[in-house]
A and B are shown apart, each in its own frame.
Chain A
Amino acid sequence: KAGVTQTPRYLIKTRGQQVTLSCSPISGHRSVSWYQQTPGQGLQFLFEYFSETQRNKGNFPGRFSGRQFSNSRSEMNVSTLELGDSALYLCASSSWGREDALDEQFFGPGTRLTVL
C-alpha cells in the first residue's frame, strides 16, 4: 500500500505570495491532518479534515486554510506569506471514523517551505 505523498517536496516563495501544498493520503484513509514544524515552535496542529469537512482547527491565522476533496486528497493554502511561515509542513492520514477511535496517524515526507 502506498504511503502518504506530499507535493511539492521543496518550495521557495517570497513574502506576500501565496502557496498551495498538496497531500494524498493512504488509500482508504478519510482523515487528513496538517502540521507545521519549526525549530522554535515544534510541531503544531493546523487542521484536520474528514470526508471533506474540517473537524478541528489549530491556533493559526486565517491566512492558513485547507480543503479536502471527495477522493480524500487535501490541499492547504497559505496566503500573504510571511518570513515566519518558513517551516516543514507535514500531512498525516488516518482512518479515523469514530470519536473514540485512537488509530495512529501516518505521515508524509513533508513540504519544506522557505519564504524569502
Chain B
Amino acid sequence: AQKITQTQPGMFVQEKEAVTLDCTYDTSDPSYGLFWYKQPSSGEMIFLIYQGSYDQQNATEGRYSLNFQKARKSANLVISASQLGDSAMYFCAMREGGGTYKYIFGTGTRLKVLA
C-alpha cells in the first residue's frame, strides 16, 4: 500500500540559511508523482514542487529543490535562503499512476524560520 512518511514534526531554521525537510514514500507502482505543498496558517495549500518517478533530474523551483533518491524512496524538500514567510506547515504527497486519482499526504512538518 502506498504510504508517505514525514518524520520531523517540527523544524527551526535561521533566516537566510538552508533547510531540508524529509519525506520517504512507499509504493509498488513504477509510475508515481511526488509533490510538496506549503500550508500557511491561513489554511490554503500552496503547490511548491513536483517530481515524477521517471524524471532523471531533481526538480527545482526557485528557492525550492527536491532531492529525489529513488532507490532509497526519499523525496526531501530543500529550501534555500529561508525567509520569515517560509514559516508554515509543509506536506509531502504522492500520487500513483494507473488511475488512482488521489493523493496520499504525509503528516506534515511545521517549519519555523527565526529572525
Contacts and interface: CB of A to CB of B under 8 A. Distances in A.
A43 to B, nearest CB: 4
Interface string A88-101: 10101000100110
B105 A42 contact: yes
Interface string B42-68: 111111001010000000000000000
Nearest to B49: A104
Given A33-B102, A104-B50, A107-B37, A99 B97 contact: yes
Q: Which 9 A-B pairs have the closest CB atoms?
A: A102-B33, A107-B45, A99-B99, A43-B105, A100-B97, A45-B102, A48-B101, A109-B44, A56-B101
12 contacts: A42-B106, A45-B104, A48-B101, A56-B101, A58-B102, A92-B103, A99-B97, A100-B98, A102-B31, A102-B52, A105-B47, A109-B42
Interface of A: 31, 33, 35, 42-43, 45, 48, 50, 55-56, 58, 88, 90, 92, 96, 99-100, 102, 104-110, 112
